[in-house]
Amino acid sequence: MTNALKFYIDGAWVEPLGTVRLPVIDPCTEEAFAEVAMGTPADIDRAVAAAKRAFTSFSQTTPAERLTLIRRILEVFLERHDEMGDTISRELGAPRAMAHAWQAGIGRRHLDELIRTCETFEWQRKKGTTLVNHEPVGVVALITPWNWPINQIVCKAAPAIMAGCTMVLKPSEVTPLNALLFAEILDAAGVPPGVFNLVNGDGPTVGAALAAHLDVDMVSFTGSTRAGIEIAKLAAPTVKRVHQELGGKSANILLDDVDFEAAVTAGVNSCFNNSGQSCNAPTRMLVPEARHDDAVEIARRAAEAHRVGPADHERTTMGPVVSSVQFERVERLIAIGIDEGAQVVAGGLGRPQGLERGYYVQPTVFANVHPSMTIAREEIFGPVLAIMPYRDEEDAIAIANDSPFGLAAYVQSADHDRARRVAFRLRAGSVYLNYPSWDAASPFGGYKQSGNGREYAEWGLEAFLEVKGIVGYGD
């Protein structure tokens, strides 16, 4: 990638003002295969200045003009779709087929859904003699994570452009190459200079400078709850809008009427998707006490059926976790689970047999997990499932809601009306009934310490809009 050591500012690839570079590590081999430049607050100043200049004219374009631009972005994205899949597979360690179908494919799905949304979105409406008008919020900072990188970049940048905002993106420094490729896509699609700017760097330096910047009107952040709290503090003195999608510890309630073979197996596979590195992964499986042992045996078989290995091997169903930091965190939490008395029925500490290099974690299942245990309360972000018994439906709901997080929840039942009734009582931003297909039109975001605001479709667009009432506008 020819632009890896540059930033995209004001419609051009420019040299960084600093000299620090960071290697990009292949998590399958633990070896560097590229490097990127690391930004400074001075780089952020010039990127924000470019966005501020561009906002004057871009904010005055019409929704129809911006929708034409989004359609062009989709065209160019599709032209480079396979390159995007290969890039994410290499820097994240995701199995190649999954990286193409989902890691890259989800970007296309978001663009498709945004186009459908904007074909019918009501930008203005009359309420009596008042005109209610939707207008861009201004210059926005986009700070995105490494686990579903292009998903979070597209579901922020595309609606921000559609809203008429201008922006500065700081992608994760762990998986930065897909973001550089996305900048090339926007450039080729004809996004005007200054509308989209990209500066690579770390959170404490570049992310903090963005969050605190006087000329940034909004921060849209996806990442850990800890980092989200720091960003909110940095943003508070300028009273900018802060939109956050943070951590999760999602419960998966299997009611007593469900087909356990199918429901447990699907729950294990969903938990282990993307090597367990999904904020909405169903990491707490709640099962009736009387069926606990049955569920454990099914989960054990499902976990042991996974083939852990390099991303480019055809038989691989699970790649490594993304980094040495993540590997050490997951291993530490597995050890805590063992120390606190949870029963390991699959996986455990150490790499899978035969994999001496790479950040590979064994697909791990714990049984007889108590709600007070660390592995039942902390987000592990790895392929670790906690199976928790419950007494009755009321107990299951209480356990599911007993969490500082509220991003997602899952309910499995043969009785769909029963599943619906349980769903209404769960304190989570998304509830998934009987493992439905992923829906780009559904609002995504959390309750409690899982964040605030919603992304995807019209909710993602509205996140970047101000509402103006022009009173006395007339008939």
- In tens, the pLDDT along 240-263 reads 999 999 999 999 999 999 999 999
Write out the two tokens for 196.
């989209």
Whether residues 142 and 107 share a domain: the answer is: yes
* Residue 112 sits in the same domain as residue 239: yes
CATH code of the domain covering residue 332: 3.40.309.10
Whether 287 and 233 map to the same domain: the answer is no
Q: Which two tokens stand for residue 455?
A: 């992304």
Residue 441, both tokens: 């039109």
Domain range holding 330? 251-440
Q: How far is Cα 420 from Cα 413, in angstroms, rounded to an integer?
A: 9
Is there a domain that residue 404 lies in? yes
Contact 407, 450 (CB under 8 A): yes
Instruction: Exactly one of 91, 113, 173, 245 is catalytic; name it.
Output: 245
Q: Are 9 and 169 in contact (CB under 8 A)?
A: no
Distance CA 359, CA 47 (A): 35
Residue at 112 is within a domain: yes
Check if the beta carbon of residue 458 is closer than 8 Å to that of residue 117: yes
Could you tell me if 67 and 23 lie in one domain?
A: yes
Q: Which amino acid is at 42?
A: A
> Looking at the domain assignment, is residue 1 inside a domain?
no
63-79 vs 81-92: helix crossing angle, rounded to 10: 70
Domain membership of residue 2 (yes or no) is no
Overall domain count for the chain: 2
The 3-state DSSP class for residue 278 equals coil
372 with 283, same domain: the answer is yes
Same domain (yes/no): 323, 458: no
> Looking at residue 2, what is its pLDDT?
82
Task: Tell me whether residue 279 is one of the annotated catalytic residues.
Answer: yes
Question: From CA 181, how far away is CA 82, in angstroms rounded?
Answer: 12
Q: What is the DSSP letter of 422?
A: H
Are 33 and 180 found together in one domain? Answer: yes
The one-letter code for the residue type at 246 is: L
pLDDT tens column, 328-342: 999 999 999 999 999
Write down the pLDDT at residue 49: 99
Q: Residues of the chain whose pLDDT is less than 70? A: none
Q: How far apart are CA 245 and CA 228, in angstroms?
A: 8
d(CA 373, CA 46): 47
Q: Is the dihedral of CA 96, 379, 330, 211 positive or negative?
A: positive
Catalytic residue among 279, 331, 458, 462: 279
Could you confirm whether 165 is annotated as catalytic? no
Amino acid at 169: L
Whether residue 212 is contained in a domain is answered as yes
CATH code for the domain of 120:
3.40.605.10
196 forms beta bridges with 167
Same domain assignment for residues 151 and 164: yes
Q: Would you tell me the crossing angle of helices 416-424 and 393-401 to the nearest 10 degrees?
A: 40
338 neighbors 349 (Cβ within 8 angstroms): yes
pLDDT at 133: 98
| Residue 87 sits in the same domain as residue 137 | yes
pLDDT, position 452: 95
Residues 16 and 39 in one domain: yes
pLDDT at res. 101:
98
Q: What is the dihedral of CA 233, 234, 240, 246, to 10 degrees?
A: -60
Cα–Cα dist 310/29, whole Å: 8
By three-state DSSP, how is residue 206 classified? helix
Q: Do residue 184 and residue 273 come from a single domain?
A: no
Q: 162 is written with which tokens?
A: 């559609």
Q: What is the pLDDT of residue 231?
A: 97
Handedness of CA 48, 52, 53, 59 (dihedral sign): positive
What is the distance between the alpha carbons of residues 175 and 88, in angstroms, rounded to a whole number? 8
- 214 with 296, same domain: the answer is no
Instruction: Report yes or no: 431 and 439 within 8 Å, Cβ to Cβ.
Output: no
